[in-house]
Protein backbone atom coordinates (compact mmCIF):
# COMPACT_ATOMS: atom_id res chain seq x y z
CA UNK A 1 0.00 0.00 0.00
CA UNK A 2 1.50 3.32 -1.05
CA UNK A 3 1.88 6.06 1.52
CA UNK A 4 -0.59 8.90 1.24
CA UNK A 5 0.46 12.45 1.96
CA UNK A 6 -0.86 13.89 5.18
CA UNK A 7 -3.40 16.71 4.75
CA UNK A 8 -2.05 20.23 5.11
CA UNK A 9 -2.87 20.78 8.77
CA UNK A 10 -0.87 24.02 8.91
CA UNK A 11 -2.99 25.46 6.11
CA UNK A 12 -6.19 24.33 7.80
CA UNK A 13 -5.06 25.94 11.06
CA UNK A 14 -4.31 29.23 9.26
CA UNK A 15 -7.80 29.17 7.72
CA UNK A 16 -9.34 28.54 11.14
CA UNK A 17 -7.32 31.38 12.67
CA UNK A 18 -8.46 33.77 9.92
CA UNK A 19 -12.09 32.79 10.54
CA UNK A 20 -11.67 33.38 14.27
CA UNK A 21 -10.01 36.75 13.62
CA UNK A 22 -12.95 37.73 11.40
CA UNK A 23 -15.44 36.67 14.08
CA UNK A 24 -13.55 38.31 16.93
CA UNK A 25 -15.31 41.67 16.54
CA UNK A 26 -18.77 40.15 15.99
CA UNK A 27 -19.80 36.67 17.18
CA UNK A 28 -17.05 36.14 19.73
CA UNK A 29 -18.00 39.29 21.64
CA UNK A 30 -21.11 37.48 22.86
CA UNK A 31 -19.17 34.45 24.12
CA UNK A 32 -18.55 34.16 27.86
CA UNK A 33 -14.90 34.76 28.86
CA UNK A 34 -14.43 31.09 29.82
CA UNK A 35 -15.57 29.94 26.36
CA UNK A 36 -13.24 32.42 24.63
CA UNK A 37 -10.39 31.22 26.85
CA UNK A 38 -11.15 27.60 25.95
CA UNK A 39 -11.10 28.52 22.25
CA UNK A 40 -7.71 30.22 22.60
CA UNK A 41 -6.34 27.23 24.53
CA UNK A 42 -7.62 24.87 21.84
CA UNK A 43 -5.96 26.92 19.11
CA UNK A 44 -2.68 26.86 21.04
CA UNK A 45 -2.89 23.06 21.28
CA UNK A 46 -3.46 22.86 17.52
CA UNK A 47 -0.46 25.14 16.87
CA UNK A 48 1.73 22.85 18.96
CA UNK A 49 0.50 19.78 17.07
CA UNK A 50 1.25 21.45 13.74
CA UNK A 51 4.73 22.25 15.07
CA UNK A 52 5.37 18.67 16.25
CA UNK A 53 3.96 16.73 13.27
CA UNK A 54 7.07 17.10 11.07
CA UNK A 55 9.22 15.73 13.90
CA UNK A 56 6.82 12.83 14.39
CA UNK A 57 6.91 12.12 10.64
CA UNK A 58 10.70 12.00 10.74
CA UNK A 59 10.83 9.63 13.72
CA UNK A 60 8.21 7.32 12.22
CA UNK A 61 10.10 7.27 8.93
CA UNK A 62 13.33 6.39 10.71
CA UNK A 63 11.59 3.79 12.83
CA UNK A 64 10.10 1.89 9.88
CA UNK A 65 12.99 2.16 7.44
CA UNK A 66 15.69 -0.42 8.20
CA UNK A 67 19.17 0.85 8.89
CA UNK A 68 18.04 4.40 9.61
CA UNK A 69 17.38 4.63 13.40
CA UNK A 70 16.26 7.82 15.05
CA UNK A 71 19.07 9.75 16.74
CA UNK A 72 19.56 8.60 20.32
CA UNK A 73 17.16 5.69 19.93
CA UNK A 74 18.23 2.45 21.61
CA UNK A 75 19.09 -0.40 19.30
CA UNK A 76 16.37 -3.02 19.00
CA UNK A 77 17.21 -6.32 20.70
CA UNK A 78 15.59 -9.63 19.98
CA UNK A 79 13.61 -11.43 22.68
CA UNK A 80 16.28 -14.13 22.74
CA UNK A 81 18.94 -11.54 23.58
CA UNK A 82 16.77 -9.95 26.30
CA UNK A 83 16.24 -13.33 27.91
CA UNK A 84 19.99 -13.95 27.97
CA UNK A 85 19.83 -16.83 25.47
CA UNK A 86 22.16 -15.98 22.61
In a domain, 26, yes or no: no
In a domain, 16, yes or no: no
Q: Rounded to whole angstroms, how far apart are CA atoms 86 and 33? A: 63
Which residues, at least 6 apart from 69, have a Cβ–Cβ distance to it below 8 Å? 62, 63, 75
In a domain, 57, yes or no: yes
Could you read off the pLDDT of 18-52 as tens digits, one per residue?
999 989 888 888 999 999 999 999 999 999 999 99
In a domain, 53, yes or no: yes
Among 7-16, 41-50, 57-66, top mean pLDDT goes to 41-50
Domain, as residue range, for 53: 33-68
Q: Which residue has the higher pLDDT, 2 or 53?
A: 53
In a domain, 64, yes or no: yes
In a domain, 45, yes or no: yes
- The total number of structural domains that make up the chain: 1
Mean pLDDT (the chain, rounded): 79
Amino acid sequence: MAAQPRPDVAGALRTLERSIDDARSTELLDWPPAARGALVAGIEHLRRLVELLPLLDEYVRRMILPGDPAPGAPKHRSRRHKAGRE
